[in-house]
Amino acid sequence: MHSVLIDLSYLVASALFILGLRGLAHPRTAVRGNLLGALGMLLAVVVTLTDRRIVGYEIIAAGLVVGSLIGLALALKIQMTAMPQMVALLNGFGGGASVLVAGTAGAEASLSTGPPPIDVATATVASGIIGAVTFWGSLVAYGKLQGVISERSVHLPAHQILNASLAAVAIGFGVWEVAANSTGWIYVAVVVASSVLGVMLTLPIGGADMPVVIALLNSYSGLAAAATGFVLSNNVLIIAGSLVGASGIILTRIMCKAMNRSLPNVLFGVIPPGKTGPAHDDIYAGKVKSVSGEEVAILFETARRVVIVPGYGMAVAQAQYAVRDLANLLESRGIEVEFAIHPVAGRMPGHMNVLLAEANVPYEKLKEMDAVNPGFEQTDVVLVIGANEVVNPLARTDPNCPIAGMPILDVDKARTVVVIKRSLSPGFAGIPNPLFAADNTLMFFSDGKEAVLQLVAAVKAT
């Protein structure tokens, strides 16, 4: 095909990507948006296959078949609870592909047309560094989320100095590659140093900070694709890459804001062990009231408005279907039921919404923190299931606690709060939660799913 036609098709594909992302502005138009994006991709791939530089199709066909089969298997088999791992893995593959494409393109160019100009060489190095950090960082994130490696934060001695040295080595080799105007083993050195850097950057990050890291790696995978676009002088790669880069940056910022932490603090910060807030016993001793399912059902009888606050614990207990049944049951009794979703409720941005959507909870019922917070004073019963830090009032009151200033769901302002939890054990921040001992709080000590099933039975019996 004529190269003008190819370029025009790439332009159409770019427009389809933008339209596709715009479709995601509403759940109603989102499916179509995603299909438009896929159509853009198909168009770009098909016209590329007519490119004159392609002389054989066997290798391409084999790669497409193998990749499609793996992609299909992953996408169809993955559980919704495991979506963070899936996205981490996909980020990694994107980054890995960018490293390989940029490296091969650089090598091929220097074989056929001599050493690449300085801008192309620089882009190749950028692609190699960002792509390798994305690939290995994503694999570590995957391992942590999947439980293959410890989810805890792993710190080596002088970790920051080590990281800074690795970054310096990677960039140093990169500058050498550009200056020496050669590809080949220097590029390999850049990629190896960046790979170690990717692992080292992700290892110190604990499970609770994963939403930030996945969003950040999402952004990197886009930027790596954009850098590869500069290597190939191909605008559709640059456009698609920067769209994804922007998306990842926005999500990273939202996640950081939801935890009241700066990005450097998430990436490099260590919570000082002394900052643990008030002692466990001072807060809980003699003040915690425990209830049974029947007692909570009696509360529901007189309630007009109930807000359910799901946390990651709900997903771990696989309680979302039981929760949906409870919500439907309460609604059939004329009670207004809403779900309050904290931005970091799951293991990645929007994760809790997907889990509830899977259980057929209509998305209109899922309320964001800012929308639901003013309504807690008019709420009769708040049901907290498997959430802890996101409802801890210490974030508002104790400026010395590790979660100080983190925006929380103000459930303590409701008339009654029922917390379903196995025990009084602390969450990821390792601090006690005064909510559990508050006058208007009742603790329902049980496994999440078990408790909700009991509630459903008890409400049906009344």
Partner 1 sequence: MDTLMTGLTVFVLALFVGFEVITKVPPTLHTPLMSGSNAISGITLIGALIAAGSEQTWLSTLLGFTAVVFATINVVGGFLVTHRMLAMFQQGKKR
Q: By CB under 8 A, what part of segment 6-25 binds partner 1?
A: 17-18, 20-22, 24-25
| Residue 427: closest CA among 402, 460, 398, 396 | 402
Residues 349-378 contacting partner 1, CB under 8 A: 349-351, 353-354, 357-358, 360-363, 366, 368
Report, in Å, the least distance between residue 119 CB and partner 1. Answer: 4
* Binding residue (CB under 8 A) for partner 1 from 229, 310, 386, 448: 229
Closest CB 77 distance from partner 1, rounded Å = 10
Please list, in sequence order, all residues whose beta carbon lies within 8 angstroms of the beta carbon of residue 299, skipping any fewer than 6 positions away: 380, 381, 416, 418
Rule CB under 8 A: which of 84-103 touch partner 1? Answer: 86-87, 90-91, 93-94, 96-98, 100-103
Round to whole Å and give the CA distance between 403 and 195: 32
Q: For partner 1, which is the closer residue by CB, 29 or 397?
A: 29
Please tell me the distance from the alpha carbon of residue 187 to that of residue 99, in angstroms, as a whole number. 10
- Residue among 205 and 231 whose Cβ is closer to partner 1: 231
Question: Which residue from 1, 5, 8, 45 is in contact with partner 1, where contact means CB under 8 A?
Answer: 45
Please tell me the distance from the alpha carbon of residue 177 to that of residue 362, in angstroms, as a whole number.
54
Is residue 244 involved in binding partner 1 (CB under 8 A)?
yes
Q: Which of 163, 202, 234, 392 binds partner 1 (CB under 8 A)?
A: 234
Nearest distance from residue 152's CB to partner 1, in Å? 24
The reply to whether 299 sits near partner 1 by the rule CB under 8 A is: no
83 vs 382 by CB, closer to partner 1:
83
Asked if 110 interacts with partner 1 (CB under 8 A), we say no
* SS3 readout for the chain: CCHHHHHHHHHHHHHHHHHHHHHCCCHHHHHHHHHHHHHHHHHHHHHHCCCCCCCCCHHHHHHHHHHHHHHHHHHHHCCHHHHHHHHHHHHHHHHHHHHHHHHHHHHHHHHHCCCCCHHHHHHHHHHHHHHHHHHHHHHHHHHHHHCCCCCCCCCCCCHHHHHHHHHHHHHHHHHHHHHHCCCCHHHHHHHHHHHHHHHHHHCCCCHHHHHHHHHHHHHHHHHHHHHHHHHHCCHHHHHHHHHHHHHHHHHHHHHHHHHCCCHHHHHHCCCCCCCCCCCHHHHHCCCCCECCHHHHHHHHHHCCEEEEEECHHHHHCCCHHHHHHHHHHHHHCCCEEEEEECCCCCCCCCHHHHHHHHCCCCHHHEEEHHHHHHHHHHCCEEEEECCCHHHCCHHHHCCCCCCCCCCCCCHHHCCEEEEEECCCCCCCCCCCCHHHHCCCEEEEECCHHHHHHHHHHHHHHC
Structure tokens at 80: 């919704």
**Looking only at residues 51 through 70 of this chain, which bind partner 1 when binding is defined by CB under 8 A?**
51, 53-57, 59-60, 62-64, 66-68, 70
By C-beta, is 307 or 442 nearer to partner 1? 307
For the bound state, the minimum distance from the C-beta of residue 176 to partner 1, rounded and expressed in Å, comes to: 21
Token digits of residue 143? 């391992």
Least distance in angstroms from the C-beta of 282 to partner 1: 36
Taking residue 381's Cβ as centre, other Cβ atoms within 10 Å add up to 23
Q: How far is the CB of 200 from partner 1 (least distance, A)?
A: 22
- For the CB of residue 70, give the shortest distance to partner 1 in the complex, in Å: 5
Q: How far is the CB of 349 from partner 1 (least distance, A)?
A: 4
Stretch that binds partner 1, among 147-155, 185-193, 249-257, 418-426 (CB under 8 A): 249-257
Interface with partner 1 by CB under 8 A: which range of 46-54, 145-153, 192-200, 451-459? 46-54
| Contact window for partner 1 (CB under 8 A) among 72-80, 202-210, 302-310, 431-439 | 72-80
Binding mask 332-351 for partner 1 (x = CB under 8 A): ---------x-x--x-xxxx
In angstroms, what is the minimal distance from the CB of 37 to partner 1?
A: 6
**From the list 5, 8, 31, 156, which residue makes contact with partner 1 (rule: CB under 8 A)?**
31
Q: Does 107 bind partner 1 (CB under 8 A)?
A: yes
Q: How far is the CB of 18 from partner 1 (least distance, A)?
A: 6
Nearer to partner 1 by Cβ, of 350 and 393: the residue is: 350
Compute the least distance from the CB of residue 161 to partner 1, in Å.
Answer: 32
Positive/negative CA dihedral, 169, 185, 237, 143 = negative
Beta partners for 419? 384, 443
Name residues contacting partner 1, limited to 160-199 (CB under 8 A).
Answer: none
Q: Does 245 bind partner 1 (CB under 8 A)?
A: yes
Contact between 386 and 315 under an 8 Å Cβ cutoff? The reply is yes
Residues 207-226 that bind partner 1 (CB under 8 A): 214-215, 218, 221-222, 224-226
Query: Per CB under 8 A, which region of 80-88, 267-275, 384-392, 417-425 contacts partner 1?
Result: 80-88
Query: Any contact of residue 5 with partner 1 (CB under 8 A)?
Result: no
> How many binding residues for partner 1 (CB under 8 A)?
115
Q: Name the token pair of 93.
A: 């593959």
